[in-house]
């Protein structure tokens, strides 16, 4: 890519059962025109043999620094890569990478690479949660590597839990997003919290007051933040979308649950983005059993806490806070006047303002596209033209990244 040819990718494979899924990742990368060199560890070959990697990449496969020594592969492979992705990354491989060990070709490559490096860990839950692994992951993230959170699901045996390798298509999407940006991951080492979806305020076990937010924009924010290197927590309110790869998903239903989850996660966050549609009111009473039909029904509502405003009041030093707002102009002011007033009222740094369209819904509501003006507390206004929700998300992250204190 940097040399005008196809993007050069190194696919590192370490010794876990999920190595077989890396075969699919390799196919996706080569079929979409990437130049891929596979560097397995010796133990990865116990799961998937060298002929498979060689046949599908069209290149010889080596595991040690002792083959083809005249071309100095332990330096060349890393230096010439546009992206290194290690999938699966075992606990052992993460430990070696975090400590700079270099006892085979893959670990040497990791030390010489100057491009974005992605680790897709896969291991048993206990190994992932072990303090040693968590410390190694934190070290790698702080150094600018992208460590994708493992998925939750079936593990090697009959057991299940957190530790599964995310689906190859999702790892592929993280890789191509990083390559298309051609930058080092600018949110690496940052922890971001994104709320998405719409809250439901229950009247009884089967009925609720809700809204039509699909959560698509929030999910796009989470996905794109992963590709920019962030550790992402997604607080999802009633969203029917698959979990984005590499994201910790906290599911909530009501505004009060969303508030508790977001405030707890925000304590250690560098960025909080409130893209969820939070109900302003909830029924005073939630009946434990299904309401029976009556001639008429009056429901008394009480105001919900304003989560964004609370975040604005309690924000940590240097934390960047982003709100969303759907606005119309009226006799009291234009869309942007109302947006500016809301930004000040909520105490956020950025407010993504969607103009409510003629249908009565903001641009992008439920759809695949979105457009907005992002207002900044510094008086700025950035127009984001109609485009994909990922494009809007990336534009928001550009503005966020520019506001983060240098670490
Ligand atoms: N928000 C929140 N808590 C609420 C309501 C909204 O955190 N109880 C957040 C939303 O997630 C969004 C922003 O505040 O980021 C703006 O939401 P909006 O509904 O436009 O704000 P309101 O304060 O309800 O203003 P309005 O009177 O215009 O509805």
Q: CATH number, domain at 106?
A: 3.40.50.1950
Instruction: Supply the pLDDT for residue 236.
Output: 98
Of 357 and 302, the one with more pLDDT = 302
Look at residue 364 in the predicted model and tell me its pLDDT.
Answer: 55
Residues 253, 120 share a domain? no
Nearest Cα residue to atom 8 of ligand 1: 306
Q: Would you state the pLDDT for residue 377?
A: 97
Give the active site residue among 108, 211, 304, 370.
211
Q: In what order do the strands lie in the sheet with 369-376?
A: 247-252, 231-237, 191-197, 271-274, 320-327, 350-355, 369-376, 381-388
Let me know whether 146 and 200 are in one domain. no
pLDDT-based confidence at 367, cuts 50/70/90? confident
Neighbours of 253 (CB within 10 A): 16
The alpha carbons of the chain give a radius of gyration, in whole angstroms, of 24
DSSP secondary structure letter of residue 238: S
Q: Whose CA is nearest to atom 17 of ligand 1?
A: 325
**329 part of a folded domain:** yes
Transcribe 126-180 into DSSP letters.
Answer: HHHHSHHHHHHHHHHHHTT-EEPBPEEEE-SSS-EEEEEPPPHHHHHHHHHHHHH
Is residue 370 situated within a structural domain? Answer: yes
* pLDDT confidence of residue 362: 61
| pTM: predicted TM-score of the whole model, two decimal places | 0.84
Residue with the bigger pLDDT between 363 and 283: it is: 283
Q: How many angstroms is it from 205 CA to the middle of ligand 1?
A: 26
Inter-CA distances, 22 with 168, 172, 198, 339, Å: 7, 10, 36, 46
Residues 151 and 120 reside in one and the same domain: yes
Closest CA to 203 of 303, 109, 284, 144: 284
Q: How far apart are CA 131 and CA 139, in angstroms?
A: 12
Q: How far is the CA of 275 from the centre of ligand 1 (A)?
A: 9
**Same domain for 123 and 223:** no
pLDDT of residue 267: 96
Say whether pLDDT at 358 is over 70: no
Shared domain check, 244 and 174 = no
- What is the residue with the minimal CA distance to atom 12 of ligand 1? 324
Whether 322 has a pLDDT exceeding 90, the answer reads: yes
Residue 1 located in a structural domain? no
In a domain, 185, yes or no: no
Centroid of ligand 1 to alpha carbon of 219 (angstroms): 18
Distance CA 228, CA 194 (A): 14
Which two three-digit tokens encode residue 370?
A: 């979105």
**Which residue's CA lies nearest to atom 6 of ligand 1?**
278
Residues with CB under 6 A from ligand 1: 255, 274, 276, 278, 280, 304, 306-308, 323-326, 346
Let me know: does 321 contact 403? Beta carbons within 8 Å. no
| 387 falls within a domain | yes
pLDDT of residue 246: 82
Number of independent structural domains in the chain: 2
2, pLDDT greater than 60: no
- Answer yes or no: 211 catalytic: yes
Whole-number Cα distances in Å, 342 to 193, 198, 232, 336: 21, 20, 26, 10
Same domain flag for 151 and 265: no
Query: Residue 378 pLDDT more than 60?
Result: yes
Q: Quote the ligand 1 centre to 232 CA distance (angstroms).
A: 22
Contact 340, 373 (CB under 8 A): no
Domain that holds residue 271: 191-403
pLDDT digits (tens, 9 = 90+) for 65-115: 888 777 777 788 999 999 999 999 999 999 999 999 999 999 999 999 999
pLDDT band at 272 (very low <50, low <70, confident <90, very high): very high
Averaged pLDDT score across all residues of the chain: 92
How far apart are the two ends of the chain, measured CA to CA in Å?
Answer: 29
pLDDT tens, position by position, 12-66:
999 999 999 999 999 999 999 999 999 999 999 999 999 999 999 999 999 988 8
SS (H, E, C) 3-40: CCCCCEEEEEECCCCCHHHHHHHHHHHHHCCCEEEEEE
């Amino acid at each position: 890519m940097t040399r005008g040819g196809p993007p050069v990718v190194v696919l590192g494979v370490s010794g876990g059962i999920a190595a077989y899924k890396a075969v699919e990742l390799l196919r996706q990368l080569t079929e979409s025109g990437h130049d891929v060199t596979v560097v397995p560890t010796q133990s990865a070959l116990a799961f998937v043999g060298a002929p498979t990697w060689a046949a599908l990449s069209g290149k010889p496969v080596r595991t040690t620094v002792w083959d083809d020594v005249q071309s100095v592969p332990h330096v060349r492979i890393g230096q010439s890569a546009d992206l290194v992705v290690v999938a699966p990354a075992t606990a052992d491989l993460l430990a070696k990478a975090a400590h700079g060990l270099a006892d085979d070709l893959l670990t040497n490559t990791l030390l010489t690479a100057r491009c974005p490096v992605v680790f897709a860990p896969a291991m048993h839950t206990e190994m992932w949660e072990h303090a040693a692994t968590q410390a190694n992951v934190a070290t790698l993230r702080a150094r600018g590597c992208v460590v994708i959170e493992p998925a939750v699901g079936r593990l090697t045996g009959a057991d299940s839990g957190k530790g599964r390798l995310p689906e190859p298509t999702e790892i592929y999407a993280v890789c191509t997003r990083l390559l298309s940006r051609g930058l080092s991951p600018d949110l690496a080492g940052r922890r971001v919290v994104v709320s998405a979806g719409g809250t439901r305020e229950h009247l009884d076990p089967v009925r609720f007051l809700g809204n039509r937010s699909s959560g698509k924009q929030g999910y796009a924010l989470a996905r794109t933040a992963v590709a920019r290197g962030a550790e992402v927590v997604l607080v999802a309110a009633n969203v029917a979308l698959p979990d984005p790869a590499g994201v910790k998903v906290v599911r909530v239903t009501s505004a009060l649950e969303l508030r508790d989850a977001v405030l707890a996660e925000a304590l250690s966050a560098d960025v909080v983005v409130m893209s969820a549609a939070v109900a302003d009111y909830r029924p005073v009473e939630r009946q434990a059993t299904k309401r029976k039909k009556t001639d008429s029904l009056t429901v008394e509502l009480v105001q919900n806490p304003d989560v964004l405003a609370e975040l604005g009041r309690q924000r940590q030093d240097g934390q960047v806070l982003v709100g969303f707002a759907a606005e119309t102009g009226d006799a009291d002011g234009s869309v942007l006047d109302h947006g500016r007033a809301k930004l000040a009222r909520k105490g956020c740094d950025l407010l993504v303002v969607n103009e409510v369209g003629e249908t009565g819904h903001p641009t992008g509501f439920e759809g695949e596209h979105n457009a907005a003006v992002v207002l900044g507390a510094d008086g700025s206004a950035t127009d984001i033209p109609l485009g994909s929700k990922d494009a809007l998300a990336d534009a928001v992250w550009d503005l966020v990244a520019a506001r983060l204190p240098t670490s």
